[in-house]
Amino acid sequence: QVQLVESGGGLVQPGGSLRLSCAASGFTLDYYAIGWFRQAPGKEREGVSCISSSDSSAYYADSVKGRFTISRDNAKNTVYLQMNSLKPEDTAVYYCAADLAALPEGCSDYDPLYDYWGQGTQVTVSS
């Protein structure tokens, strides 16, 4: 069964850090670009970051640039999102997704391109 499972969310104070994990089962992530998206209450889902299947390029939304870092460990079939200097506006459900059709050097923040999605993990930034 093809599955993506996110973990690592939780409650953190402003300025704190979390590391989200996206683990794949039933398929290998090697050939997929992986994206992280988030959806806050009452807002549309937005792209946060993505990483190419070749690990040669990454994209970050302006709102997280310099604070978030995406990485992948194909040996563990897992992609990570390190989130530092968290702000209350980062509060959302975070989803990872896999895109098979992306070129090896590319990835996209356009969510209709993604084939598989995880169930999401809640991140709450509050004092």
Q: Higher model confidence: residue 107 or residue 39? A: 39
d(CA 126, CA 58): 28
Find residue 21's DSSP bridge partners. 7, 80
Query: pLDDT (tens digit, 9 = 90+) per residue, 49-104?
Result: 999 998 889 999 999 999 999 999 999 999 999 999 999 999 999 999 999 888 88
Give the three-class secondary structure for 118.
Answer: coil
Contact 118, 38 (CB under 8 A): no
Tokens encoding 99: 């895109």
CA distance 83 to 72: 14
What is the widest separation between alpha-carbon atoms in the chain?
Answer: 41
